[in-house]
Structure 1
Amino acid sequence: MIEIKLKRKTNGEKIIKELEAIYGTKQRLERIVERNPKDAKAYYDLDDWNYYKDHLDEEVTEEDVLIRDKFLFDKGEIDILNSIKENNPKNLTELAKLVDKNISNILSTIDKLEKEGLIKIEEGNKNSKIPILTYDAIEIAI
C-alpha cells in the first residue's frame, strides 16, 4: 500500500466559496443535513461553513489522502505537474512545449490528472484551456 497525501493552503473565504459552488446557499445545505442526518460529508461541510463564515482570513492547510496498491505517478505525470507548478502555463499547448511533447500525446495524461483531482482545467481566452494545480504539495509514503 502506498499513501499519498495531497496538501493545499487555503483560507476561510475560499472554503466558503467552494461550499457555495457545491451547495448554492447555506440554507440549502442545512436542508440537506435536516433531510439526511447520516450524511457525514454534508454535516461536516455545514460545520465548516458555520465556522469559516466568521473566520474568513484564517489560513488553513487542507489534506486529502489517497491509498493505492501501486505507485500512482509515472515520469510524464510528474513532469506535467512540475511544469504547471513552476511555469504556470497559459494553455495546454504551452504546457506541451514545456514538457517537450506534442499536445495530442499529453491529453490523456491531463485527463487522468484532472480525474484524480490533482489539476483542474479552467476556460481561458478564445476557448483555451488553462491547467491549474489543485494542491500545493504531494507527499508519498511507501
Structure 2
Amino acid sequence: MINITLIRKITGRELIRSFEDTYISIENLEKLFKEDNENMNLQMDLDDWKYFIDHKDEEVEDGRTIFLENNDIDKIGLGLLDLIKNEKPNSISQLAKLANNEVNTTLKKAKLLEKEGLISFKSGSKNRKIPIMNYDNIHISI
C-alpha cells in the first residue's frame, strides 16, 4: 500500500470557506461539537475557524492523506503529476505531447489520478479538460 500526503498552502480566508462548504456556519459546527464533544476533528475545525476569523491572511498548510494499492499509480502517473504541476498544460492533448504518450493513454491515467483525488479538471475552451494540481507538495511513502 502506498501512503500519499497531499499538502497545499492556503490562507485563513480559504480555510474558512472550506469550513463553510462543510458546516455552513460556525454555529452549526458548534452545535455538532456540543452533540459529539469527543470528536477531535470537530474540536480542531472549531478551534481553527475561531482563530482564522481574526487571521484571514495568514497562510496555513492544509493536508490530506490517501492510501492507494501499489498498482493504482505507476511511473507514468507520477510523471503526469510532475508535468501537470510544473508545465501546467492547457489540455489533455498538450499533456500527452509533453509526456510523449498517446492521448487515450494519457486520458485514462489522468482520470485515474482524478479519481484518486490527486488532480482535478477545469473546463477550457472547445470542451478541453485542463488538468489542475491543487497541491503544493505530494509526499509518497511506500
Would you say same fold, with TM above 0.5?
yes
Q: CA deviation at 1:23?
A: 2.7
Say which is worse superposed, 79-88 or 55-64, in terms of deviation.
55-64
| TM-score with structure 2 setting the length | 0.78
Question: Contact 2:8–2:62 (CA<8 Å) still a contact in 1?
Answer: yes
Change beyond 3 A, Cα 1:103–1:45: farther
8 Å CA contact retained: 2:5, 2:66 = yes
Q: CA deviation at 1:14?
A: 1.4
The match for 2:73 is 73
What stretches of structure 1 of length at least 5 have no aligned partner?
A: none
8 Å contact kept, 2:95–2:106: no
Instruction: Give, in angstroms, the shift of residue 56 of structure 1.
Output: 1.0
Matching residue's letter, 2:74: D
**For the aligned residues, what is the CA RMSD?**
2.6
Matched, 1:101 2:97: no
SS at match of 1:130: strand
Q: When the two structures are superposed, what TM-score results if normalisation uses the length of structure 1?
A: 0.78
What is the correspondence of 1:5-84 to structure 2 with a 5 Å cutoff? Answer: 5-66=5-66, 70=70, 73-84=73-84
- Between Structure 1 and Structure 2, how many residues are aligned? 142
Runs of 4+ with >6 A deviation: none
Percent identity for Structure 1 against Structure 2: 38
Are residues 93 and 8 of structure 1, via their aligned partners in 2, closer, same or farther at CA, if it must alter by over 3 Å? Answer: same
Deviations 1:82-113 (A, max 9, x none): 11111112222322222122332122322221
> Which runs of no fewer than 5 residues in structure 2 stay unpaired?
none
Specify whether residues 109 and 40 from structure 1 end up closer, same or farther in structure 2 by C-alpha distance, changes over 3 A only: farther
